[in-house]
Chains A and B, each alone.
Chain A
Amino acid sequence: MRIKTLFLFALSVLALSCKDDKEIDNEGICPVEPSETVKKFFSESLPSYSTSGNESIFNFSKIEYGDSECFVVNSDEDFKSIVDPKIQLPAIDFNQNTLIVGQHCMPNSGFVLYSQSISDITDTLQLVLTYKSLDGGSADQVATYYFWGLYNKLPEKKVVLRIKRI
């Protein structure tokens, strides 16, 4: 009995030590590591959020709280179509990759994107964006959050967005 109890205890400690938050949230297909050029392009052209309309180079629509917009990019032509045509775009191998770029609204700007992943659910792809709340006070101003991720080539299905807060 004593040995059995100790064994169960050790097992549970082992299980807890292996399971960090990130693993819990990333139950799905995670984005691939993009090139430095791609990372630089997005860090310079797509802010993490905006409180006063579209401040990015992307052709986003005006959305309201509760709405979202998601561009699923599978070719250079697709990529060009969602960006101001004067912009020099970084090279992405769309034979191997799918790029997802989008926007949605949050109650305020006191959140940071913690993780993202895609789950293939029969006829749709579910993109799960997990946000972490920052401690402290935040202005009660609706903020549009922008996101992007480069994935291994995804099946041509509609992407549905799901926002999680932790």
Chain B
Amino acid sequence: MKRVLLAIFYAVSIIGCQKSFISDDNIISNSSSHLENDDSENFYYWCDGKKIPLHINRSKSFIVFREDEIQKDANVKSSNSLNFNRDNIYQILGIHSPKITLNNIRYQKQIVENNIDSGLDTTGIDYIAPFFTTNEGIGLGITDIFSVQLSSETDAMSLNKIVEDYNVELLGANKHDPSIYYLRCNNYSKGNALEIANCIYESGLFKYATPEFIVESFVDSVPNDPLFKNQWNLNNSTNTLIDIEYIEMMESYTFPHLNNVIVAVIDSGINLNHEDLNICDKSFNAHTGENISNVYGDHGTQVAGVIGAYSNNNKGICGVAPGVKLMSISLCFTKEAERLGISSSTTTQFANAIRYAANNGAKVINNSWSFNTSSPIAEINNAIIYAQKKGCIVVFSAGNDNAKVSQPAAGSPSGTIIVGSIGKDGYKSNFSNYGTSLDMCAPGEDIMTTDRSGGYTTVNGTSFSAPHVAGVAAMLFARDINIQSNRVRDILEQSVKKIGQYEYLGQDTKLNGPWNQYFGYGLINARAAMDAVNGEGPIKPILYSYLKEITNNDLFSMGLDYDIWDKVYLVEDGVGSSRFMIDNYDSSTIYEWRSSLPPYYGVGAYFDVSLPDTVLEEPVLHEVKCKALKNGSWTQSGLSLALVPYNYKY
């Protein structure tokens, strides 16, 4: 408890002392209101070049203790406690080649409540920052970490200046994007992470500078959204085996990039004014080509709520990726067209919707719709390939006919994630489509969500299963903004729960583990997916797969697992053959396939890589070559790829 008092003392001291960073500081008052005065002028962070206002919340603080210097104090009342050592920090942030020596100091991060009695104990406090609330009422803790992105590689010297000027530690560069660096504040730094990040961004020397946030909704066990109690899909208390482990994900992880992730909802249009949704600035009416979406029907807002309704805002429901930016791309479905007396959207307009999403920053594209046709729709498939090449995850619902997966999902290119529905009891929904195209399943019965009128409703269908997967995909990006989309797909498909009464078996065409036709790989598992990003959990080291068009005498790239696979995509009907070589070992086996239906892709071949059956301690580079035959002529390409042991920590 003494430590908590100290926290308040520190918070007041630090904020009071930092007028050089935050002008006109007026937070020292006796008011107990969380949103007192208009302090949003003073407290803010930068996101996409815009000032996002914050309101100070005096009832809490964010503190980091050094575990080696404190004894356990049972009186510290915290709503969350996160244990880190530096290894963990590097791993969580995706930091490569840290610039400082690992010293195995363990840190404990806590959001503490400021209900103090008396006494002071300064032992072990390494960092303290005030706690904030956003305009939407979401609590934000500012951790001791902040990141900056260099404008150019030659600006690396500026980092040293930051370290000196603000007395902070340089932790290292992001392993995926070396232009992003992570830094850490402590008691001796000249400000907390928010203050320093703002100053750095406002200097104009960096592309961005942002503190790492811990969002309160992620640390409270159960969100305060009043309808959350009806959301069995996020917290299946009656059957925990069929739970998607949403709460566990929120409790275990932070999502520093949530504000930078956009999920496109290609649908009937979202109510852009729904108070429980965070709507992206960009929207599009693919039916008319106008740069603002329309609301043709109820469905779009319903799908959007499942993906991204705010959590812990004391309103309505909670989304899988709470507060993620939702890009509304509207189309006119058949029934709405009939009601409105206009023509329904064409396949070209659907394809344009997907392309718009890909061109305008969407990381995930949700498609909860289908066409009444049994043939693949080439135009839409081309758009999906376009989006996948831009790094988007494309998710489709399986359809509701209790039959084979609907089109265009069924005939969509490899890499599209097709989602079926289950009910609360873990059985396949009696409407949910199934079959070889199905990838995974998610709740799709009695799903409470936002509605077009601004309120809430309960709905059914695979339309609402797909958004669960889209939401978890968004959270993977929110955790690691630089993660590759094919890695996201592999993680989603490998981290599932093998539920249900049907046997899961290995399939030649299903690379991510045992599978069955009613559940696909299994039930989406939000917590396990996040574990996988951190290198925890039962995720195999998957090498990235590629999809590339080939024409005559041109070559394709390949996707790799422990088994070497190629996923071949031809631009026209034809016969293809392939053969692999790894580390100069030639498989000598020629695999042939024929594909006569658009999009002309198929599994071409695979062979087991004869790697020693040992645990890899370090990433190992292999040279992989592939020969391909298309209508008569051989060509060749080389590719160097790494096998990375799972659990490997940089």
Interface residues of B in 287-313 (CB under 8 A from A): 297-299, 302
- In the complex the two chains form, is B371's CB within 8 Å of A139's CB? no
- CB contact under 8 A between A51 and B459, given known A65-B429, A136-B337, A138-B335: yes
- In the complex the two chains form, is B461's CB within 8 Å of A140's CB? yes
- Which A residues are in CB contact (< 8 Å) with B335? 49, 109-110, 134, 138
Interface status of B430 (Cβ within 8 A of chain A)? yes
User: In the complex, how many residues of chain B place their beta carbon closer than 8 angstroms to a beta carbon of chain A?
Assistant: 41
- CB contact under 8 A between A107 and B344, given known A52-B458, A140-B368: no
Q: Report the minimum CB–CB distance from B351 to chain A (whole Å).
A: 11
Interface status of A135 (Cβ within 8 A of chain B)? yes
Count class of interface residues, chain A = 20 to 34
In the bound complex, how far is the Cα of B460 from the Cα of A57, in angstroms?
22
- CB contact under 8 A between A141 and B299, given known A108-B400, A136-B333, A136-B337: yes
Cβ 8 A contact of A140, one of B337, B346, B462? B462
Interface status of A112 (Cβ within 8 A of chain B)? yes
Interface residues of A in 48-79 (CB under 8 A from B): 49, 51-53, 64-66
- In the complex the two chains form, is B451's CB within 8 Å of A137's CB? no
In the bound complex, how far is the Cα of B333 from the Cα of A13, in angstroms?
38
Query: Mask for B365-400, Cβ within 8 A of A = 1, else 0?
Result: 000111110000000000000000000000001111
In the bound complex, how far is the Cα of B368 from the Cα of A51, in angstroms?
14
Q: Report the minimum CB–CB distance from A134 to chain B (whole Å).
A: 4
- In the complex the two chains form, is A141's CB within 8 Å of B459's CB? yes
- In the complex the two chains form, is B369's CB within 8 Å of A137's CB? yes
- In the complex the two chains form, is B458's CB within 8 Å of A65's CB? no
Interface status of A152 (Cβ within 8 A of chain B)? no
Interface residues of A in 89-145 (CB under 8 A from B): 105, 107-110, 112, 133-142
- In the complex the two chains form, is B401's CB within 8 Å of A137's CB? no
Q: Report the minimum CB–CB distance from A133 to chain B (whole Å).
A: 4
Q: Report the minimum CB–CB distance from B417 to chain A (whole Å).
A: 14
- In the complex the two chains form, is B461's CB within 8 Å of A142's CB? yes
Q: Report the minimum CB–CB distance from B433 to chain A (whole Å).
A: 9
Interface status of B240 (Cβ within 8 A of chain A)? no
Interface status of B217 (Cβ within 8 A of chain A)? no
Cβ 8 A contact of A65, one of B400, B451, B463? B400
- Which A residues are in CB contact (< 8 Å) with B368? 139-141
Q: Report the minimum CB–CB distance from A110 to chain B (whole Å).
A: 4
Interface residues of A: mostly helix, strand, loop or mixed?
loop
Interface status of B218 (Cβ within 8 A of chain A)? no
Interface residues of B in 441-462 (CB under 8 A from A): 451, 457-462
- Which B residues are in CB contact (< 8 Å) with A64? 430
Cβ 8 A contact of B370, one of A105, A112, A138? A138
Most buried by A among B350, B399, B458, B461: B461
Q: How many A-B residue pairs have CB under 8 A?
A: 108
- In the complex the two chains form, is B460's CB within 8 Å of A140's CB? no
Name the residue of chain B whose CB is nearest to the CB of A133.
B372
- In the complex the two chains form, is A136's CB within 8 Å of B430's CB? no
Cβ 8 A contact of A112, one of B333, B338, B344, B429? B338
Interface status of B436 (Cβ within 8 A of chain A)? no
- CB contact under 8 A between A137 and B334, given known A52-B451, A108-B370: yes
- In the complex the two chains form, is A140's CB within 8 Å of B302's CB? no
- In the complex the two chains form, is B345's CB within 8 Å of A139's CB? no
- In the complex the two chains form, is B431's CB within 8 Å of A105's CB? yes
In the bound complex, how far is the Cα of B400 from the Cα of A66, in angstroms?
11
In the bound complex, how far is the Cα of B466 from the Cα of A107, in angstroms?
15
- In the complex the two chains form, is B344's CB within 8 Å of A65's CB? no
Interface status of B515 (Cβ within 8 A of chain A)? no
Query: Mask for B423-438, Cβ within 8 A of A = 1, else 0?
Result: 0000001110000000
Interface status of B422 (Cβ within 8 A of chain A)? no
- Which A residues are in CB contact (< 8 Å) with B299? 51, 139, 141
- In the complex the two chains form, is B338's CB within 8 Å of A140's CB? no
Q: Report the minimum CB–CB distance from A61 to chain B (whole Å).
A: 15
- Which B residues are in CB contact (< 8 Å) with A137? 331, 333-334, 344-345, 350, 369-371
Interface status of B268 (Cβ within 8 A of chain A)? yes
In the bound complex, how far is the Cα of B332 from the Cα of A135, in angstroms?
12
- Which A residues are in CB contact (< 8 Å) with B370? 108, 137-138, 140
Interface status of B283 (Cβ within 8 A of chain A)? no
Q: Report the minimum CB–CB distance from B88 to chain A (whole Å).
A: 40
- In the complex the two chains form, is B458's CB within 8 Å of A138's CB? no
- Which A residues are in CB contact (< 8 Å) with B398? 140
In the bound complex, how far is the Cα of B344 from the Cα of A110, in angstroms?
11
In the bound complex, how far is the Cα of B331 from the Cα of A13, in angstroms?
43
- Which B residues are in CB contact (< 8 Å) with A136? 333-334, 337, 344-346, 371-372
Interface residues of B in 388-424 (CB under 8 A from A): 397-402, 406
Query: Mask for B322-355, Cβ within 8 A of A = 1, else 0?
Result: 0000000001011101100000111000100000
- Which B residues are in CB contact (< 8 Å) with A112? 338
Name the residue of chain B whose CB is nearest to the CB of A107.
B400
Q: Report the minimum CB–CB distance from A12 to chain B (whole Å).
A: 29
- In the complex the two chains form, is B333's CB within 8 Å of A66's CB? no
Interface status of B267 (Cβ within 8 A of chain A)? yes
12 contacts between A and B (CB under 8 A): A53-B458, A65-B429, A65-B430, A109-B335, A110-B334, A136-B337, A136-B372, A137-B344, A138-B333, A138-B370, A140-B400, A140-B462
Q: A52-B451, A136-B345, A140-B400 are in contact. List 7 more A-B contacts (CB 8 A).
A: A110-B335, A136-B337, A136-B346, A137-B345, A139-B461, A140-B466, A142-B460
Q: Which residues of A contact B (CB under 8 A)?
A: 49, 51-53, 64-66, 105, 107-110, 112, 133-142
